[in-house]
Amino acid sequence: MKHIEEAADFTASYPVFTPAMKATHTILIPDMLPWHFDLLVHVLRRAGYRVEVLHNEGRAVIDEGLKHVHNDTCFPALCVIGQYIDALKSGKYDPEHTAVLITQSGGGCRASNYIPLIRKALKAEFPAVPVLSLNFSGLEKGNSLRLSAADFLRLAYAIFYGDLIMTCFNQTKPYEKEAGSAARVRAQCVEQMKRALDGGAYRRFRRCAKDILDAFSALPVTGEKKIRVGIVGEIYVKYSPLGNSHLEEFLLSEGCEPVVPALMDFILYCVVNTVNDAKFYNKGKRTAWLFAIAYKWLYGKQKALIALMKKTRFAPLHDFGHLRRCADKVIHQGVKMGEGWLIPAEMTALAETGTENIVCAQPFGCLPNHIAGKGAVRAVKGLCPQANIVPVDYDPSATRVNQENRIKLMLATAKERARVQEKEPS
């Protein structure tokens, strides 16, 4: 904006997170990926922030969300705001000494507007609670987390470790011989990685990764064949059990193996989009090189992880370079709002590697998903005719029966195919 100082001001005042609050305030963050967040929070605590992940669930959370958010706003905003308000009302937190944190991508999707929505919601009942932003776009200056370069590095490693633990767990849990053993190892690994992040050992990346792989490899498994179901879609409902009505658990209970792509892929997707903007439109050339370096570094780490996994019985993570090539087959990498081209890329990569059955999870009426989710299904099927994709809308009022029935239809087709394949082994 050119003349911002002359602009007519229609903003309402809101509390700011002052540096002094770091010592006095508890920062609440919404639940999205339980095990990743455990590690991430650990890093933030190390950096001196008193952070807590919310785990509250149930109708009360949704009701608070419905009360405080516009009807047509997306479901993730509703869940997140519902969790905050419900938690603040629980009496567990002193509203005078509590702040809330949310990530902000700054893209063209309305998710970038969660912060003002949260502020509005809090203003009505908890006017003293400041909202903090975690972003890389320079938004909300003075109201975002301040982290050192080393802490950002730790966060990156934490995500890699989280991805690895999640992937190994998902590939072990359905086949474990001893019930509960996979969950036990997962908890152990998380604790071990916390210690590694503390001591600086996290930089011995291969060592840490190998420890995780070894721990899971040591578990006895049945070796039976189960139907693998990929989960792609909008970032929050893809991962958050609150958002997707415990989709992973449901798939496990149906005797399937859930295949959940890594969180790091989304981070890489965001980084690459900035690089692409410079390439396509000469936009932001001054900072693009920084993102290009970050991309190279992160991608290098991911490839190292994949190389390690290939030596074990675990199916490796997606190679991000491969994901980009998959994207190019169905959509343009210019589709960069929301989860954009990453969704069809993941669908294609999954279908090509034997995970033909895919749930595309999206909030009801999600704008980018019109294009990249539902809109791209036909193109993916054109490329991989065996792909068996079901788009599922998540919404505060859609009944679980309705969602599960659609997923069951997809599974019925999957099981039918599995039966046919068994009969005529090709």
Partner 1 sequence: MANYLGIDVGSTTVKLCVLNAARETLYTSYVRHYSRVRECVLEELEKIASFGASFHVCITGSAGLGIAQRARLPFVQEVQAAYGAIRQCYPDADAAVELGGEDAKIIFLTGGAEQRMNGSCAGGTGAFIDQMATLLDIPVPEMDALSLRAERVYPIASRCGVFAKSDIQPLLNQGANKADIAASIFQAVVDQTVSGLAQGRKIAGKVLFLGGPLYFLKGLRRAFVRTLRLDAEHAVFPENAPCFMALGAALAAAREKEEPLEALRARLAAAQGHSDITVGEPLFASQAEYDAFVARHIRSDLAFENVLTYRGDAYLGIDSGSTTTKLILITPDCKILYSHYQSNNGQPLDIVADKLREIYALIGDRIVIRGACVTGYGEDMLRAALKADFGVVETMAHFKAALYFNPDVDFIIDIGGQDIKCFKVKNHAVDSIMLNEACSSGCGSFIQTFAKAMGMEIGEFSRLGLFAKHPVELGSRCTVFMNSSVKQAQKEGASVEDISAGLSASIVKNAIYKVIRARTPEELGQHIVVQGGTFLNDAVLRSFEKETGKEVVRPAIAGLMGAFGAALYAKENTPAETLISGIVTEAELGAFGYSSRAVICKGCTAHCSVNILTFADGRRFVSGNKCERGAGLPAARHAADLYAYKYEKLYALPQERKPSARGTVGLPVQLAMFEQLPLWTAFFETCGFFVTFSEKSSRELYFRGQHTVASDTACYPAKLLHGHIESLLDKNVDFIFYPCESYNIDEHDSVNHYNCPVVAYYPELLRANNERLTKENFIAPYLDLNDERSAVRALHRALKGWGLSAPLIRRALRAGFAAHAAFHADVVAEGRRILEEARRAGRHTVVLAGRPYHADPEINHGIGKLLNALGVAVLSEDAVFEEGEQVRVNVLNQWTYHARLYRAAEFASRQTDVDLVQLVSFGCGIDAITTDEVRAILERRGKLYTQIKIDEINNLGVVKIRLRSMLAAIEELGRKS
Per-residue x/- mask for partner 1, residues 270 to 289, rule CB under 8 A? -------x--xxxx------
In whole angstroms, the minimum distance from the beta carbon of 294 to partner 1 comes to: 21
Q: Which of 41, 117, 215, 237 binds partner 1 (CB under 8 A)?
A: 117
Q: Which of 89, 120, 210, 226 binds partner 1 (CB under 8 A)?
A: 120
Please check whether residue 277 is in contact with residue 284, taking contact to mean a CB–CB distance below 8 angstroms.
Answer: yes
DSSP type of residue 50: E
Q: Which of 146, 184, 311, 332 binds partner 1 (CB under 8 A)?
A: 332
Residues 49-68 contacting partner 1, CB under 8 A: 58-59, 63, 66-68
Distance CA 128, CA 114 (A): 18
Nearer to partner 1, 134 or 398 (CB): 398
E-strand ranges in 30-118 read 50-53, 98-103
Distance CA 360, CA 393 (A): 9
Tell me which residue has tokens 């989960």: 231
Nearer to partner 1, 48 or 116 (CB): 116
Nearer to partner 1, 26 or 137 (CB): 137
Q: Which of 7, 128, 183, 290 binds partner 1 (CB under 8 A)?
A: 7
Q: Which of 94, 97, 108, 293 binds partner 1 (CB under 8 A)?
A: 108
| 226 forms part of the interface with partner 1 (CB under 8 A) | no
Nearer to partner 1, 321 or 334 (CB): 334
Short-list 258, 186, 175, CA closest to 220: 175
Tell me the window of 31-39, 104-112, 212-220, 299-307 that interacts with partner 1 (CB under 8 A): 104-112
In whole angstroms, the minimum distance from the beta carbon of 135 to partner 1 comes to: 11
Nearer to partner 1, 276 or 355 (CB): 276
Tell me the window of 23-31, 214-222, 224-232, 333-341 that interacts with partner 1 (CB under 8 A): 333-341
| 131 forms part of the interface with partner 1 (CB under 8 A) | no
| 141 forms part of the interface with partner 1 (CB under 8 A) | no
Nearer to partner 1, 1 or 23 (CB): 1
Q: Which of 90, 113, 222, 287 binds partner 1 (CB under 8 A)?
A: 113
Nearer to partner 1, 9 or 224 (CB): 9
In whole angstroms, the minimum distance from the beta carbon of 242 to partner 1 comes to: 16
In whole angstroms, the minimum distance from the beta carbon of 234 to partner 1 comes to: 12
Residues 284-313 contacting partner 1, CB under 8 A: none
Tell me which residue has tokens 């409902």: 237
Residues 67-86 contacting partner 1, CB under 8 A: 67-68, 70-74
Q: Which residues contact 326 (CB under 8 A, 6 or more apart)?
A: 344, 345, 346, 348, 349, 352
Tell me which residue has tokens 């919310």: 54
Please check whether residue 14 is in contact with residue 128, taking contact to mean a CB–CB distance below 8 angstroms.
Answer: no
Distance CA 342, CA 340 (A): 5
Distance CA 349, CA 352 (A): 5
In whole angstroms, the minimum distance from the beta carbon of 8 to partner 1 comes to: 4
Tell me which residue has tokens 């981070």: 267
- Residue 120 CB coordination number (10 Å): 15
Short-list 414, 27, 421, CA closest to 256: 414
Q: Which of 10, 19, 422, 424 binds partner 1 (CB under 8 A)?
A: 10
In whole angstroms, the minimum distance from the beta carbon of 280 to partner 1 comes to: 6
3-state secondary structure of 239: helix
Per-residue x/- mask for partner 1, residues 350 to 379, rule CB under 8 A? --------------xxxxxxxxxxxxxxxx
- Residue 424 CB coordination number (10 Å): 6
Please check whether residue 47 is in contact with residue 148, taking contact to mean a CB–CB distance below 8 angstroms.
Answer: yes
- Under rule CB under 8 A, how many of the chain's residues touch partner 1? 88
Nearest-10 Cα torsion for 107, 299, 155, 247: 70
Please check whether residue 302 is in contact with residue 268, taking contact to mean a CB–CB distance below 8 angstroms.
Answer: yes
Residues 392-411 contacting partner 1, CB under 8 A: 393, 395-406, 408-409, 411
- Residue 52 CB coordination number (10 Å): 16
Nearer to partner 1, 51 or 349 (CB): 349
